[in-house]
Amino acid sequence: MKNRVLAIHDLSGFGNTSLMAIIPLFYKYGLEVCALPSALLSSNTCYDGYRLLETDAFMKDCLRHWQEMKMEYCAIYSGFLGNPAQVDTVLEAINSFSSEKTLVLVDPVMADDGKLYSCYDDSMILAMRRLIAQANIITPNYTEACFLSGHSFKNDAGHVDFERICGRLHDFGAREIIITGAPGLKDGCKIIYSAASASSIQSFECRYLPCFFTGTGDIFSALMLIYTLRGIERSGAIIKAADFIYDAIRYSMTRARDGRAGVLLQELLQNTGE
C-alpha cells in the first residue's frame, strides 16, 4: 500500500498519452501501478480512424475484485473518463480505497482551446464537479477550469479572473487547484495555484514553445502526484514539473517527433534524472 497507486485513465495502444505516459513515470519513482482503464483505444484520438472499446462494466468488475482482494493504495489518480457514469465508478473507488492518508488527484480531462471535447456535454461538467469535491488536488487546464467554475473563457484572463475561477472551484469542494495553460505574457502561458487554506492565488510563468504535443497534461499531473508523495513543497513541485514538460517538448522537437504521438518519454527517462 505504501507505494501503490490506483491509476484511472484511458489506455491507447499507441501514443505516449494517458496510462501509456503515466505508468512509466510512476515506475521510475518506485510506485507500483494498479491500472483501471476507462477506455481502450487503438491509438490516441489525435489519429483518424482510431478504434475504441468502452469499459464501463469492466471497471465496476475490477473494483469488486480489488475489494475482495482488500487492496490498499497510497494514492488514487483519475484522468480521462468516458462518460458521467464513470464518475460514479471513480467515486466508488475513492470511497472504497481511500483513507485520510490517501492522496487523491483528479485531472478533469474534458476540454481544451475553449471547447468541450466532442464526446461530452454539460452532464459531464456537472458530474465532474462532484468528483473534484473528493480530491486533494485537481489539475484542470484553463478551459476545463472555466467550464467547471462556470466562468467565461477569455484569452486575456487576468488575476481577478483566476481568483474568481479558483474561488468557485473551492466552493465546489476542491482543496488545491493547479490550473495549467493559463494565458500568460507575450503569448506565453502560466500555471495558477490556489489552496483553500490560503488567502491568495499564486502564478507561475512558464517557458513556452509554439508547438503541439499531446499527453503533456497527463505527464504534468502524474509528476504532481509523484512530487507530492515525495514531500516536495507545492510551488517547487509545480516549477519542477513545468520544467520537465518544457525540456521534454524541446527534446522531442529536436528529434522531429510527431506531436500526435506525444513526447519521446522513453528516451527522456533514460537520459535524464527524472
The predicted-structure confidence for 81-116, as pLDDT tens digits, reads as follows: 999 999 999 999 999 999 989 999 999 999 999 999
* CA dihedral over 222, 155, 112, 210, signed as positive or negative: negative
| Average pLDDT score, the chain | 95
Percent of the chain beyond pLDDT 70? 97
Per-residue pLDDT band at 188 (split at 50, 70, 90)? confident
Question: What residues form DSSP beta bridges with 138?
Answer: 106, 177
165 or 1, which is more confident:
165
Amino acid in the structure at residue 179: I
What the block records as the C-alpha cell of 93 is 473507488
| Predicted TM-score (pTM) of this structure | 0.96
Contact 101, 71 (CB under 8 A): no
Place of cell 474561488: 167
Separation between Cα atoms, residue 109 and residue 116, nearest integer Å: 10
Domain borders along the chain are: 4-271
Cβ atoms of 120 and 159 closer than 8 Å: no
Per-residue model confidence (pLDDT) at position 185? 67
pLDDT digits (tens, 9 = 90+) for 154-172: 999 999 999 999 999 999 9
Asked if residues 223 and 241 have their Cβ atoms less than 8 Å apart, the reply is yes
Confidence of residue 273 (pLDDT cuts 50, 70, 90): low
- The continuous run of DSSP H or E covering 217 comes out as helix 216-229
pLDDT of residue 210: 87
Confidence of residue 272 (pLDDT cuts 50, 70, 90): low
Per-residue confidence at 55, pLDDT binned at 50, 70, 90? very high
pLDDT of the residue at 271? 78
Asked if 79 contacts 18 with a C-beta cutoff of 8 angstroms, the reply is: yes
- Residues 251, 247: Cα–Cα separation, whole Å: 6
Cβ(263)–Cβ(216) under 8 Å?
Answer: yes
Residue 238 predicted with pLDDT over 60 = yes
| pLDDT for position 2 | 78
CATH hierarchy code of domain 4-271: 3.40.1190.20
CB 177 within 8 A of CB 169: yes
Q: Residue 274 pLDDT more than 60?
A: no
Give start and end residues of each alpha helix (H) in 104-215.
122-132, 142-149, 159-171
Calpha distance 19→218 (Å, rounded)? 8
Interval 247-262: pLDDT, tens:
999 999 999 999 999 9
Contact 71, 34 (CB under 8 A): yes
Position 230 scores a pLDDT of 96
Q: What is the largest CA-CA distance in the chain?
A: 54
Burial of 165-176, coded b for 16+ CB within 10 Å and e otherwise, reads bbebbbebebbb
